[in-house]
Amino acid sequence: MFKKRLSVGLILLLLLGLGGCQAEGTEKNAVYSTKQKAANGIEKAAHSTVSIQQAEAVEKAEAAFKQYFNIQSIDKNLIQKAALIEDNGIRWKNPYWKLSWWVAKDSNNPVYSAQIDAQSGEVVQLRYRPHRDHKVITRQDVLSYQKTALAFMDKYDLVKEVPVNLFEAFSSYMEGIGVEFRYGPDQFIMLYFNEAGTVSGFEFSQQVAYTLQGNDLKIDRPEAIKMAQASIKEYYGAVDTSGLIEQVRLFEGDKGEKNWFVSWKNIAPLEGRFIRYGAQIDALSGKVCAVEESNHSLDKEPIAGLENNEEKLREIAEQFLDQKNLSGYRFDSFVKDTGTLRYMDKAGSPLHVLVDRSEGKVSSLFFFELK
């Protein structure tokens, strides 16, 4: 269940394949298929490479449910599923057993789920979710969840490194209610809650690729941060990132592409606003692939008459392009699937422009094809 919450803007790249500055002719579906599989952890690992086999993993999961949530036994009538997963270090360092217990084969929400490290036997993820808990969370909710989560982590000594810093808070129908903390060299723990505010699960993750450098990288991590800051300033002016959370990720594609994602964000429910500034940098060529600036109220509705109004969206986009010395691009089409306006320059290079419908301004630029 490794995942991150997705929202409009630069993170749209994750939905469109994680390919970033893709080589010309690369099919989006091919890239998307491989990367999405890796991100969701559905690449199978070889059983011969692990120390913990399925039966032992199930025993460890059942013992963990008893230890952490006082669940004495799992209903034997539930359908059990198990898979040995290798996500290539995207969200976890070792192969792990992904275990789940379902009411029926066609259910879309497991009652119990667990992930057990197949090398060490470590409990990576554990969750009891008999129904889909979710609600609109407020600042007070986040503060309450944070207090409860820290007490839970302290009680069970889940995180030995300090400090532990709040990284994210969210609530959605698909993912439920959760708060995420970052600690150590970009390690994370997610605590899940039910609607009563009780901890119902936890999940560890590590951005293993975060520290991956490689001898072939033209752009290293410090340089990627500098380039992201310069790109944001170039297209959106000077922004104040003090008080925001910095996140730097290096993603490697199945065709050898390597891209830095650098961003600064807030914890939206605490402030009632969604704030994120970011850029994507090709680590091999040094090209700026995308730039984002999002800063808007969570309660603000789309401006009347702007949603999917191609004429008005073009007017906003082209005024921005003129101001930023990008007037060499000419309008090509409105892409409904991505909500972007597609432009082309004389050399045939694409530029996709995303307009924030609630603010009436350009929020993201993608200097590559969103296929």
Kindly report, residue by residue over 23-44, the tens digit of the pLDDT. Answer: 333 333 333 333 333 434 334 5
Considering the domain architecture, whether residues 181 and 316 belong to the same structural domain is answered as no
Kindly report, residue by residue over 254-297, the tens digit of the pLDDT. Answer: 777 889 999 999 999 999 999 999 999 999 999 999 999 999 99
Considering the domain architecture, whether residues 284 and 359 belong to the same structural domain is answered as yes
Considering the domain architecture, whether residues 198 and 216 belong to the same structural domain is answered as no
The full DSSP string for 19-84 is --SPPTT--HHHHHHHHHHHHHT-PBPPGGG-SS-HHHHHHHHHHHHHHHH------TTSEEEEEE
Rounded to whole angstroms, how far apart are CA atoms 125 and 202? 6
Domain encompassing residue 174: 131-207
Considering the domain architecture, whether residues 266 and 324 belong to the same structural domain is answered as yes
181 located within any domain: yes
* Domain stops at, among 157, 177, 207: 207
Tell me how many domains the chain contains: 2
CA trace torsion 233, 236, 240, 242 (10° rounding): -80
* Domain stops at, among 207, 231, 254: 207
Kindly report, residue by residue over 103-153, the tens digit of the pLDDT. Answer: 987 777 899 999 999 999 999 999 999 988 889 999 999 999 999 999 999
Tell which wins on pLDDT, 239 or 35. 239
Considering the domain architecture, whether residues 193 and 230 belong to the same structural domain is answered as no
Rounded to whole angstroms, how far apart are CA atoms 234 and 259? 20
353 located within any domain: yes
Contact 279, 256 (CB under 8 A): no
| Sequence-ordered list of residues with C-beta below 8 angstroms from that of 200, at least 6 positions apart, any chain | 69, 127, 128, 129, 133, 176, 192, 193, 194
195 located within any domain: yes
Considering the domain architecture, whether residues 237 and 343 belong to the same structural domain is answered as yes
Considering the domain architecture, whether residues 200 and 244 belong to the same structural domain is answered as no
Helix ranges restricted to H, 200-323: 221-236, 268-271, 310-323
119 located within any domain: no
Considering the domain architecture, whether residues 234 and 361 belong to the same structural domain is answered as yes
Helix (H) or strand (E) holding 139: helix 139-156
